[in-house]
Amino acid sequence: FGSRIQWPLVLLFSPHAAMAVDGLDADTIFNTPCLGFNLDDLVSLPGQSTRSVEEVMLTTLFSRDVKLNTPIVAAPMDTVCESRMAITCALMGGIGVIHCNCDADTQAREVLIVKRYVNGFIMDPHVLSPNHSVEDVDRIRQLCDVSTVLITEGGIMGSRLMGVVTSRDIDFVEDRKTKLSEVMTPRPKMIVGMEPISLSEANQKLRQSKKGKLPILNEAGELVAVVSRGDLKKGRGYPDAATDPNKQLLVAAACPPYLPEIDRVKKLVEAGVDAVVLEASHGDSIQQVEFLRKVKQEFPSLNVVCGNVVTPRQAKPLLEAGADGLRVGMGCSSLFSSREGMAIGRPQGSAVYHVARFAHDHYGIPVIADGGIQTSKHMTMALTLGASTVMCGSLLAGTTESPGDAFFHDGMRLKLYRGVGAVDVIPRPTEAKYALGAADEAQHPNAGGCAVVDRGPAAALLPYLIEGIKRDVRRLGVGTVWQLHDDLYNSSLRFHVRNGR
């Protein structure tokens, strides 16, 4: 009897057999018929750690041409992301998507606030002429919170620089109608940079001058740009900030995929938006494909993220029409508020893996895991399954930077959080399209909102989440998101399905 059971035990506990049964690769798990998996249903097996947490790099792609240093995206919801949240996310290396539950001018203004928060070369500084008065400087300070104004001959960029007016020049001027020519610091007393000059050279000269601003002039003495000490300090304090080639913070904006909204896109582009995210719970529609083609025709260099989709079949028409990124997720949000019923969707883990693999193998396009993100472990699992970034809604809705005021209920400090399909969120011009009545509301109970516990500043929460992602990525034995995806697709990453709860 002993001889009959000895050989299978030796085989089972041999080193080679133990490695052979060590978890399952993603293809085996996700191609199992009749089963779908959420992010919580799987656990990744650890790999050999060869680097410290500080050495892990989370550089990734938000869309085809928009590169981030952190894979965290603020969702385009009016209780989640406006300029303040977008600035915080970008400073931490991620990106915020400004919601579209407002008119186009307001949305473009929010984008412009983000783009002007940090600059490399400031190409559109506040400029006045010597004939303007101190009152004009007061007006600029009140509207834009700027206390330094450059004075040019014609009062516009490209004119000959005459001087500069700062708060120190006008604080004690009693007659606010005094002309700026009488109070400005003249050009001969100013320190300037001359073209050609690189940004690093300009910053070095600014440090040495110990001034607040360094005007950049051409050979004719005309003002062409400005470098600010405030931007220099922000760059030092946030080394991982997500910025464009001009060192301005990255920002995206949402847009409904309807042809009349093309004017909104135009205003967003003029404001400097880096990517447009089409806002639709169901991305596989003729309207979205037509709108995408129209946007690509008029703004060929603009990155457009489409969605939402959960299958490769849904993703294919959008990718073929020129989508630069995809939002993946349907029916998995903590606050499901789309116009469809809850029965439509797909478990988020399965959706992310299948769409990400299809987009990666055939188009080289990144995907965003949109929904079901509550902790850093969900973020890591989404990245492990092929997502390049994760979109957060409720996780950021209760932070200080999210729009709206906090209130108290039963001793708890709360903030409002609502989905984009909520009746009180739908913009006025859109209400007629939905034509919501009592019967409709009864059929769509998901179009609502709730309150979430105040989480404090996002500026304190995001580093904690980033550290959690880095810790988990290190335990998987890789050092970058790119390596993580390579291990996923070559079956080096192994998984186990969790036991039933």
pLDDT tens-digit map of 84-118: 999 999 999 999 999 999 999 999 999 999 998 88
- Residue list, annotated binding site for NAD(+): 329-331
What are the tens digits of pLDDT across the range 445-460?
444 567 777 888 999 9
Considering only CA atoms, which of 42, 1, 32, 51 is closest in space to residue 475?
51
pLDDT at 9 over 80: no
Cis geometry, peptide bond prior to residue 196 (ω within 30 degrees of 0): yes
DSSP of 134-190, one letter per residue? HHHHHHHHHHH----EEEESSSSTTSBEEEEE-HHHHTT-S-TT-BGGGTSEEGGGS
Specify the residue for token string 């059929």: 443
pLDDT at 499 over 80: no
Contacts of residue 275, defined as CB under 8 A and 6 or more positions apart, other chains included, come to: 62, 63, 66, 95, 252, 253, 302, 303, 304, 305, 324, 325
Phi-psi sector, 256: left (phi>0), alpha (psi -120 to 50), beta = beta
Specify the residue for token string 């990666």: 360
Q: With beta carbons less than 8 A apart as the criterion, state whether 184 and 134 touch.
A: no
Q: What is the mean pLDDT of residues 151-171?
A: 91
Cα–Cα distance measured from residue 243 to residue 94, given in angstroms and rounded to the nearest whole number: 10
pLDDT at position 234, please?
80
- Supply 387's token pair: 């997502």
Q: What is the mean pLDDT of residues 235-248?
A: 88
Q: With beta carbons less than 8 A apart as the criterion, state whether 137 and 149 touch.
A: yes
pLDDT at 431 over 80: no
Phi-psi sector, 272: left (phi>0), alpha (psi -120 to 50), beta = left
Whether the full predicted model's pTM is greater than 0.85, yes or no, is no
Specify the CATH number of the domain 127-237: 3.10.580.10
- Residue list, annotated binding site: 329-331
**Cα distances (angstroms) measured from residue 300 to each of 304, 324, 465:** 10, 11, 35
Q: Where are the domains of the chain?
A: 60-118+241-425+445-497, 127-237
- Residue list, annotated binding site for K(+): 331
Q: What is the mean pLDDT of residues 147-151?
A: 90
**Domain 60-118+241-425+445-497 -> CATH class:** alpha beta
Cα dihedral 220, 223, 225, 231 sign: positive
What are the tens digits of pLDDT across the range 28-60?
999 887 888 999 999 999 998 888 999 999 999
pLDDT at 439 over 80: no
